[in-house]
Structure 1
Amino acid sequence: MTTLIKTGVLSLAALSIAACSTTGNVERNALGGAAAGAAVGAGVGAVSGDVKVGEGAAAGAVVGGIIGAIHGNNKDKAVVGATVQAPMLDKTTRYYDNNSQRYYYFEKGTSRTFYENGERRS
């Protein structure tokens, strides 16, 4: 029982670290998934007599990390517009830059902008 409590405390600590991560969605969700998976795997290992607690935590961390990374990748795709094709210039609407006194366009799927001649606008 004390092993299960120790594992739970360590898992909560790992989850709190994952919540404070300043990286992208993939990394943050992979870290959180690994921590949650480790907790579940350790719990399964503690309850069942077939698997050791450490082995269950390791297997759960791997599976949880993979699932978390996939979830984070899907979040990133939703934010970027889920484009699977190469980004392309949206020339349906053009905008005017008062500083350079030139027109520019937005690139679909990204936040990059380009002038009419194709030169990247910074």
Structure 2
Amino acid sequence: MTTLIKTAALSVAALSFAACTTTQNVERDAVRGAAAGAAVGAGIGAISGDVKVGEGAAAGAVVGGIIGAMQGSKKDKELQGGTVAAPNLDKSTRYFDDNTRRYYYFEKGTNRTFYENGERRS
């Protein structure tokens, strides 16, 4: 039981440190997922009796870290105008690309350019 308390305390400490960092969402969410997974894994290990608490915490931390990193990656793509979120185009000025014979716009706040249909211009 004391191992479970120690693992839970360590998970809460890691979570609180992760909340104070200025890293991107992938790193932050991976740490949060690992901490939550470790707590859940330790709890399952303590309840089941078939798995040691430490082994359950380690397995939970790995699975939770992977899931958290995937969620953080999705958030970063949304914030950076990746494939998940549509670009925020400045349509006040339209430019013409002589090579492709298509019109394009600049994304607000960046130097990236996109065609009228939202496709990224390379």
TM-score strictly above 0.5: yes
Q: Which residue number corresponds to residue 6 of structure 2? A: 6
CA separation of 1:113 and 1:66: change in aligned 2, threshold 3 A: closer
Q: Which residue number corresponds to residue 60 of structure 2? A: 60
Rounded Cα–Cα distance in structure 2 between residues aligned with 1:81 and 1:52: 44
Shift, 1:47, TM fit: 1.1
Q: Which residue number corresponds to residue 94 of structure 1? A: 93
User: Aligned AA for 2:67?
Assistant: I
Shift, 1:17, TM fit: 1.1
User: Aligned AA for 1:73?
Assistant: S
**1:29 pairs with 2:49:** no
Give the SS at the match of 2:73.
Answer: helix
Give the SS at the match of 1:18.
Answer: helix
Aligned residue pair count: 100
Name segments (4+ residues, structure 1) moved above 3 Å. Answer: 90-93
1:7-54 deviation digits (Å, cap 9, x = unpaired) = 111111111111112110111000110111111111111111111111
1:70-111 deviation digits (Å, cap 9, x = unpaired) = 110111121123337xxx9x685339xxxxxxxxx6248x72
Identical columns (%): 69
Rounded Cα–Cα distance in structure 1 between residues aligned with 2:46 and 2:33: 20
> Which consecutive residues of structure 1, in runs of 5 or more, have no partner in the other structure?
96-104, 115-122
Q: Which residue number corresponds to residue 71 of structure 2? A: 71
Rounded Cα–Cα distance in structure 2 between residues aligned with 1:17 and 1:91: 38
> Which consecutive residues of structure 2, in runs of 5 or more, have no partner in the other structure?
95-104, 114-122
Rounded Cα–Cα distance in structure 1 between residues aligned with 2:11 and 2:107: 42
CA RMSD of aligned residues (A): 2.6
Rounded Cα–Cα distance in structure 1 between residues aligned with 2:112 and 2:79: 18
TM (normalized to structure 2)? 0.70
Rounded Cα–Cα distance in structure 2 between residues aligned with 1:30 and 1:67: 7
Rounded Cα–Cα distance in structure 2 between residues aligned with 1:53 and 1:3: 7
